[in-house]
Structure 1
Amino acid sequence: MTKPHLLHLDASARRNGHSRTLSARYAGAWRAGHPDGRYTYRDLVAAPVPFIDEAWTEICDHALANGITDPRRLPEGVRTPAQRAAWAVVEPLLAELLSADELLIGVPMYNYGVPACLKAWIDQVTFPRARLDVRVVVAAARGGTYAPGTPREPVDHQERYLRDFFAGHFGVQDVTVIAVELTNALVDPWLSDARPAHEESYAAALAAVAV
């Protein structure tokens, strides 16, 4: 029987950021519950994934043109030195993702969206007509509140983007988002009145990741 595999990514520029705390708590609980499981960790800030280049798009174009949907056949489009260099970057990232049963992403909201380091990873592992059998858990942090019914709900391009991406491209419907909101209440005097709401949100998120 194949051992369960958790792939854990962190994308916060803060070493002690809320999203890192949440994802670490979740990973710790997962590892305690799966003592024989496999755990892979990538800090996308400490070891950034490079942005894709034209050579990677050429590999993807070859897959599209030849009806390739099995990622194991992607190397068929690797022919030039530039393409070999591009494949050397993506191959280990893709292998980790394809072998994972669960993907855990610790991610803050930056300027209404996700950090560039996470987007770089997403672009590297995104291949044509992809399908994944994986559960996704997002441990998110946001400076304000973007909850349903709030004024800023329409500009949430963090949770909505990740849900839309994993469902739309990879066909993943099992996406759980655990978010702590109003983290800026800890530093912004204008949001000082929102500190109790932040603390309530944080406590709920910590409880949710301790599964």
Structure 2
Amino acid sequence: MTQSAARHILRIDASMRRDGSVTRQLADALTGRLVANQPATTLTRRDLADNPPTFIDESWIGANFTPVDARSDAQRAALARSDALIAEIQSADTLVIATPIYNFGVPAALKAWVDLIARAGVTFRYTENGPVGLLENKRAIIVMASGGTQSGSGIDFATPYLRHVLGFIGITDVEIIAADQLGKGADEKLAAASAAIERLAA
């Protein structure tokens, strides 16, 4: 993982639970340690439970594939939320994505966020040699919790998906902190995740 200190952290919370959310608690600990280590670090928080991203629709797709200088006011309005979410990533050097696993994958709100920030010509581009991510020189830390799904197993469709999507838009420095299979040995798993946070923050 890149050893340069964080200067601007973007934190994405994907849990629909506020009270008792393991990912929120772990992300609190992680961002708290990162900021404490570098007091000048700024933190932007995007809570997907407060204002979930809307799903893309036909009008959004039409606006996205219309050249910038040919877009109508309505098309620019349709892309405004996407533009704002992308700007948050562009201004950050570290992303902290805190997500539970719902039914073996990411929550719907996080998938909607991904759909809004993965845009050809903005966060990635196509070349004759394949797609190239445009959000380079950033790192991401995924804080994951699950009740029964083991991180990295054949039924974990959340963390490999996020790692792939982040790499697709240019963020290849990705660390995963997993508090997985909390349905058995929760105390041990939480202790291991907390220790991982301490090692990473150090």
Equivalent positions of 1:23-38 (< 5 A) are 23-38=27-42
Paired position in structure 2 for 1:4: 7
Task: Tell me the CA shift for residue 178 of structure 1.
Answer: 0.3
Aligned residue pairs total 181
Structure 1 contact 112–158 (Cα < 8 Å) conserved: yes
State which of 89, 93, 116 in structure 2 corresponds to 1:101: 93
* Structure 1 stretches of 4+ moved >3 Å: none
Equivalent residue letter for 2:181: L
Paired position in structure 1 for 2:17: 14
TM-score, normalised to structure 1's length? 0.79
* 2:108 corresponds to 1:119: no
Paired position in structure 2 for 1:72: none
Find the structure with the greater CA-based Rg. Answer: 1
Secondary structure at 2:172's aligned position in 1?
A: coil
Task: Tell me the CA shift for residue 171 of structure 1.
Answer: 2.8
| Residues 147/138 of structure 1: CA separation in 2 closer, same or farther (3 Å cut) | closer
Paired position in structure 1 for 2:128: none
Equivalent residue letter for 2:189: S
Paired position in structure 2 for 1:159: 159
Q: Which protein is richer in helix relative to its size?
A: 1
Structure 1 contact 11–107 (Cα < 8 Å) conserved: yes
Paired position in structure 1 for 2:69: 76
Identity of aligned residues (%): 39
Q: Provide the alpha-carbon RMSD of the alignment.
A: 1.8
Task: Tell me the CA shift for residue 147 of structure 1.
Answer: 4.3
Structure 1 contact 10–42 (Cα < 8 Å) conserved: yes
Q: Which protein is richer in strand relative to its size?
A: 2
Equivalent residue letter for 1:13: M
Instruction: Identify unmatched segments of 5+ residues in structure 1.
Output: 64-74, 186-193
Instruction: Identify unmatched segments of 5+ residues in structure 2.
Output: 1-5, 126-132
Structure 2 contact 149–156 (Cα < 8 Å) conserved: no
